[in-house]
């Protein structure tokens, strides 16, 4: 197999759509999530030997540490290897002074610490691959503050800034890995359904997200995954360390 990918948050939503599209494009995929779900189970059946689900709770430090080492044995060494840090949670949706502290710690661990640890291990352990690329799935919430999304937006802003550091470091390295944090747009997934369940007093932007759904303005996971992969696999990937998929030419 010439091309392979490690995808986190692969069981539902954007992550599952990314796995589906990667398989269609000939990749072998190591898919990490806490659950397999019907989606990954049927992909594994349809693509025997090319889709491997690995049960991983990436909010847990030990499972963050072992994730890349567990995934690599399922991927034959080839030319191109992708890491897509996609797993994320939007909770807690609350304003400072009202956070559940454990939910705060869990969100930062999953949304920020996990991708940093996975990038670190990926850079250290995959030097034999000729073309390595890292896509950190970020959010417009990294750049714009929404009351109630302080935890989510801060985690994503951290991911953006980490990606800027990685991009500079890699540009100066002998065998640079291409890296970018990318805002994928607004996508019709469980995460958006959870956002619509927030209380207005916690999240004053709620009406905007209710309206986007009512107006049919959300991207399908399939469409969003297609755009992200076109960008990730293209020549221009990595030119901007932080990019909004909606603003690309």
Ligand X SMILES: NC(=O)c1ccc[n+]([C@@H]2O[C@H](COP(=O)([O-])OP(=O)(O)OC[C@H]3O[C@@H](n4cnc5c(N)ncnc54)[C@H](OP(=O)(O)O)[C@@H]3O)[C@@H](O)[C@H]2O)c1
Which residues are marked as active site?
Answer: 152
Distance separating alpha carbons of residues 183 and 186, to the nearest angstrom: 9
Minimum distance of ligand X from residue 113's CB (angstroms): 11
Instruction: Give the DSSP H/E element, type plus range, for residue 5.
Output: strand 3-8
Size of the site for ligand X (CB under 6 A): 29
3-state secondary structure of 237: coil
Q: What mask of x and - would describe binding to ligand X in positions 156 to 175, judged by CB under 6 A?
A: --------------------
Rg (CA), the chain: 17
Q: Does 238 bind ligand X (CB under 6 A)?
A: no
Q: Does 38 bind ligand X (CB under 6 A)?
A: no
Q: Does 88 bind ligand X (CB under 6 A)?
A: yes
User: Applying CB under 6 A, which part among 81-89, 95-103, 126-134, 169-177 lies near ligand X?
Assistant: 81-89
**Binding positions for ligand X, 5-34, rule CB under 6 A:** 8-15, 33-34
**Binding positions for ligand X, 39-68, rule CB under 6 A:** 56-59
Q: Where are the alpha helices (DSSP H) in the chain?
A: 13-24, 37-46, 61-71, 101-108, 114-125, 150-171, 190-196, 206-214, 221-232
Q: What mask of x and - would describe binding to ligand X in positions 116 to 145, judged by CB under 6 A?
A: ---------------------x-x------
Measure the N-to-C terminal CA separation of the chain; round to a whole number of Å: 31
Q: Does 154 bind ligand X (CB under 6 A)?
A: no
Distance separating alpha carbons of residues 180 and 8, to the nearest angstrom: 16
Residue 4 backbone dihedrals phi, psi, to 5 degrees:
-145, 160
Minimum distance of ligand X from residue 244's CB (angstroms): 10
Sheet with 131-137, edge to edge strand ranges: 51-55, 28-33, 3-8, 80-85, 131-137, 178-183, 242-244
Minimum distance of ligand X from residue 27's CB (angstroms): 18
What lies within 8 Å, CB to CB, of 189 at 6+ separation is 12, 13, 14, 221
Which single residue brings its beta carbon nearest to ligand X?
13
Minimum distance of ligand X from residue 63's CB (angstroms): 8
**Binding positions for ligand X, 204-233, rule CB under 6 A:** none
Q: Does 148 bind ligand X (CB under 6 A)?
A: no
Residue numbers at the binding site for ligand X (CB under 6 A): 8-15, 33-35, 56-59, 86-89, 110, 137, 139, 184, 186-187, 189-192
């Amino acid at each position: 197999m010439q091309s392979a990918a490690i995808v986190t948050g692969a069981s539902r939503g954007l992550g599952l759509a990314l796995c589906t599209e990667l398989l269609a494009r000939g990749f072998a995929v190591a898919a990490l999530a806490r659950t397999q779900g019907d989606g990954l189970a049927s992909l594994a059946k349809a693509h025997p030997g090319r889709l491997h689900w690995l049960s991983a709770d990436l909010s847990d430090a030990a499972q963050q540490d072992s994730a890349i080492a567990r995934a690599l044995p399922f991927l034959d060494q080839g030319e191109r290897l992708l890491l897509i840090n996609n797993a994320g949670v939007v909770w807690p949706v609350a304003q400072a002074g009202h956070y559940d502290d454990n939910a705060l710690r869990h969100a930062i661990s999953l949304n920020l610490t996990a991708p940093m640890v996975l990038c670190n291990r990926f850079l250290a352990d995959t030097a034999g691959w000729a073309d390595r690329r890292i896509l950190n799935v970020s959010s417009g919430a990294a750049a714009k503050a929404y009351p109630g999304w302080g935890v989510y937006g801060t985690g994503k802003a951290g991911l953006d800034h980490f990606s800027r550091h990685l991009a500079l470091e890699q540009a100066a390295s002998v065998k640079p890995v291409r890296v970018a944090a990318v805002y994928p747009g607004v996508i019709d997934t469980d995460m958006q359904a959870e956002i619509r369940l927030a209380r207005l007093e916690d999240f004053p932007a709620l009406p905007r997200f209710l309206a986007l759904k009512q107006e049919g303005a959300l991207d399908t996971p399939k469409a969003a995954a297609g755009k992200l992969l076109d960008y990730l696999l293209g020549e221009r990937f990595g030119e901007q360390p932080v990019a909004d998929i909606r603003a690309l030419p």
